[in-house]
């Protein structure tokens, strides 16, 4: 991986892969001989896994009463929805009916 000396953005391989090109500012530099081990990309066969019916959303769960179905478990996450000097808002998603509600920190 190489970073641009001009703007600090990550550089990518140029045409022919003999130089680096910055997408942000267009800066180009030649590639050094020891750069090749860091820039090779390997092809990895990937298998498509159907997770459409998986219950785990990758979010933490907590005890929270759903106002829609009275289930007592919910996924939760925090999100900044107001100005930066105000606290984040906690969102809940019911593990049963997937109803979404929020709880503002005061």
User: Is residue 13 marked as binding?
Assistant: no
User: Is residue 97 marked as binding?
Assistant: yes
User: Is residue 29 marked as binding?
Assistant: no
Exposure string over 46-83, b if 16+ CB within 10 A, otherwise e:
eeeeeeeeeeeeeeeeeebebeeeeeeebbeeeeeeee
The whole-angstrom separation of Cα 97 and Cα 88 is 24
Return the H-helix or E-strand segment holding 48: none
User: Is residue 66 marked as binding?
Assistant: yes
User: Is residue 7 marked as binding?
Assistant: yes
User: Is residue 74 marked as binding?
Assistant: no
Annotation: binding site:
4, 7, 22, 25, 66, 69, 94, 97
Annotation: binding site for Zn(2+):
4, 7, 22, 25, 66, 69, 94, 97
């Amino acid at each position: 991986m190489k970073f641009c000396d001009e703007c600090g953005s990550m550089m990518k391989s140029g045409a022919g892969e003999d130089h680096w090109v910055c997408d942000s500012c267009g800066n180009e530099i030649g590639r050094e001989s020891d750069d090749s081990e860091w820039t090779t990309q390997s092809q990895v066969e990937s298998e498509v896994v159907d997770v459409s019916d998986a219950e785990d959303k990758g979010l933490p769960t907590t005890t929270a009463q759903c106002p829609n179905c009275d289930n007592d478990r919910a996924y939760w996450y925090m999100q900044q929805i107001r100005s930066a000097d105000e606290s984040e808002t906690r969102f809940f998603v019911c593990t049963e009916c997937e109803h979404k509600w929020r709880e503002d920190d005061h």
